Amino acid sequence: VQLQASGGGMVQAGGSLNVSCTVSGRTNRRYAVGWFRQAPGREREFVAAISWSGMIVDYAASVKGRFDISRGEATNTATNTVLLHMASLTPEDTAVYYCAAKDSTYFGHTSYYVSPDEYGIWGQGTQVTVSS
């Protein structure tokens, strides 16, 4: 399976940005997806997660009410896109954003994960910069 993160960029405080994560690979597997971010000098932190069914989502307290994670419609059974819409951005949201996937085929359609240690597949990261 491969993850491709895209989107991000630079925006002024109060603005919005979208980042997306395309998960492609084996057609008979289902993946829970999480977004994490890492700012310079700081540890990687959880941002949002979604179960493979899309029925369950979770957010870090720092982004709850401002960020929205969702699954786009699959273009085919081997590809799925997870979208992270970020609104009311502040300079504290500046970081490299990473998406990660965990094979959850046998863990139920409501399983999701907030620890980076749970995820075995990571995308390359995309920069989000919020100016004041």
Structure confidence at residue 36 (pLDDT): 98
Report d(CA 130, CA 53) in Å as an integer. 31
Please give the single-letter amino acid code of residue 68: D
DSSP 8-state class, residue 74: P
Residue 80: its pLDDT value, please? 82
pLDDT at 79: 66
Predicted local distance difference test score (pLDDT) of residue 27: 65
Q: CA–CA separation, 124 vs 3, rounded Å?
A: 8
**Neighbour tally for 68: CB within 10 Å:** 15
Which amino acid does the sequence have at 92? E
**Type and span of the H or E element at 102:** strand 95-103
H or E element that contains 96: strand 95-103
Give the three-state DSSP class for 116.
helix
Tens-digit pLDDT profile for the chain (132 aa)?
889 999 999 999 999 999 999 988 776 788 899 999 999 999 999 999 999 888 999 999 999 999 999 987 655 555 688 999 999 999 999 999 999 999 988 887 888 999 999 999 999 999 999 999
| pLDDT for residue 78 | 54
pLDDT of residue 119: 95
Q: Are 9 and 16 in contact (CB under 8 A)?
A: no
Per DSSP, the residues of 77-121 read TTEEEEEEEE-S--GGG-EEEEEEEEE-TTS-TT-----GGG--E
